[in-house]
Amino acid sequence: MTFWNALFTNPLLIYALTAGLLASVVSGIIGSYVVVKRIVFISGSIAHSILGGIGLFIWLDRVHGITFLSPLFGALIAGVLSSLLIGWIHLFANEREDTVIAAVWSVGMAAGILFISQTPGFNVELMSFLIGNILWVTPQDLVFLLILDLFVIVTVTLLHKRFLIICYDEEQAKLQGIHVTNLYLLLLALIAISIVLLIQIVGIVLVMTLLTIPAAVSALFTNRLSMVMITAIGISALLTTGGTVLSFHLDWPTGATIALLAGATYLIAVLVPKKLAGNPPPIPTK
C-alpha cells in the first residue's frame, strides 16, 4: 500500500500531515529570527531544558494520578520559564551568555532524567518526545498546536518591525525609545513556544534541525527577511511532508527521517554556485 492510499484509510496520517503543516508555519517565522539574530545555541538550550517539564508532568500523571496535566503543557511551561531565565540572567546579571546557556541546558535535562527515573515502567510517550513521532499526534494536540500557531502569528504580525530592529541593531533600537529588554524576552518566549510545536514532529533531540535549517536554506537565496520567512515556511512544509512519506515507505523513525532530509537539503543548497560566490546576509527591509 502506498502512502497516499493509506492516507484515506488511516486518520493518523492525516493528523501527522496537519501537524507538520502547523509546525512549518511557526518554524519558518521564528526560525528566521533565530538564524538572523544568531541565537541558535540559546534555542538549543531552551529545547533541551523542556525535558524537565515533560518529565515532571509525566511523573505527576503516572505516580500521583494527576491525569489532566499533559506533557505538552509541561513542555510549554518549562520552555517559556527557561527562555525568560536565560534572557534575564544575560541582560541583568552580567554573566557570560555561553555559561548561562550551558547551565539551563544541563539543569533542565538533569531534572527531566530525575523525574523519569522515578516514573515506573518504560515510557513510550517520553521516547516520542525525545526522538519524535508525528504519528502520535491526536486531535487534541492539533487544537493545541493551532492555538499556539495563531498566537505566534498574531504576535509577530504586530511586532515584526520592532523585532527586525532588535535583531540587527539593538543600540539603534534603544536610541529610538524601543523597549529592547521586553522585546528580547518576548522573542525568546516565542522561540520556546515554537520549540514546543516542533518537538511533536522531530523530538527534543532533533528539534533544532527544523527550527533552523529551513530558514538557513531560505536565507541563502534572498536578502529580504519577509521573503526568508515565507520561503522557509514552504521549505519546512516540504521537509515534514516528504519526511513523513519517506518514513512510511522505508519504515524509518519519522523524526529522524525528517531531520536527515533537512540536513541533505541544506548540504545541497550550500553547494549552489551562487552561494559559493558569496551573498550578503539578510538585511532589514520593509
Q: What is the pTM of this model?
A: 0.84
Q: What is the pLDDT of residue 276?
A: 47
Beta bridge partners of 283: 224
- Average pLDDT on 123-143 reads 76
| Residue in 50, 78, 86, 89 with CA at minimum distance from that of residue 187 | 86
d(CA 34, CA 73): 23
pLDDT of 277 > 60? The answer is no
Quick one: what percent of the chain has pLDDT higher than 70? 91
Highest mean pLDDT among 11-15, 60-64, 216-220, 272-276: 216-220
- pLDDT band at residue 140 under the 50/70/90 scheme: confident
| Residue in 224, 213, 196, 211 with CA at minimum distance from that of residue 280 | 224
Alpha-helical segments (H) within the chain: 3-7, 11-37, 40-64, 71-92, 97-117, 124-131, 139-168, 170-175, 180-219, 225-250, 254-270, 273-276
Structural domains of the chain, ranges and CATH numbers in brackets: 3-276 (1.10.3470.10)
- pLDDT band at residue 237 under the 50/70/90 scheme: very high
Q: What is the pLDDT of residue 232?
A: 95
- Average pLDDT on 105-130 reads 80
- Average pLDDT on 251-265 reads 89
Q: What is the pLDDT of residue 197?
A: 80
Quick one: what percent of the chain has pLDDT higher than 90? 23
Phi then psi for 283, rounded to 5 degrees? -120, 150
Whether the CB-CB separation of 210 and 30 falls below 8 Å is answered with no
pLDDT of 90 > 80? The answer is no
Q: What is the pLDDT of residue 10?
A: 83
pLDDT of 200 > 90? The answer is no
Average pLDDT, the chain: 84
Highest mean pLDDT among 37-41, 151-155, 168-172, 194-198: 151-155
Q: What is the pLDDT of residue 155?
A: 92
d(CA 267, CA 76): 32
Q: Which of 131-145, 198-212, 269-283 has the lowest mean pLDDT?
A: 269-283
